[in-house]
Copies of this chain bind each other. A is one copy, B any other.
Amino acid sequence: MTFNDLISGAMTSAGQVRNEPVQARSSERIDALLDAASAVVAEVGIERLTTAMVAERAGASIGTVYRYFPDRIAVLAAMSLRGFERFLRKSVEKLEEHPPATVDDVFSALIDACVQMHRDEPGFTSIRLGDQIALPAVDGGTAASARIAGSLATIVSAELGVADDGSLAGRFDIALTVLDALLVRAFVIDSAGDEQAIAACRAVVAGYLAEAPVAA
Cβ of B42 and Cβ of A136 under 8 Å apart?
yes
A131 near B188 with CB under 8 A, answer yes
**A41: B residues at CB distance < 8 A:** 136
On chain B, the residues within 8 Å of A191 by CB distance are 136
Q: Which residues of the partner chain B approach A204 to less than 8 Å between Cβ atoms? A: 174, 178, 208, 214
- Copy count, this protein chain: 2
A189 to B141, CA, bound (A): 7
- Looking at chain A's contact residues, the main secondary structure is helix
A137 touching B45, Cβ below 8 Å? yes
Contact surface of A with B, Cβ cutoff 8 Å: 41-43, 45-48, 72-73, 76, 123, 125-126, 131-140, 143, 145-146, 170, 173-174, 177-178, 180-182, 185, 188-191, 194, 196-197, 199-200, 203-204, 207-208, 211, 214-216
CB atoms of B194 and A140 under 8 A apart:
yes
Q: Are B215 and A200 in contact (CB under 8 A)?
A: yes
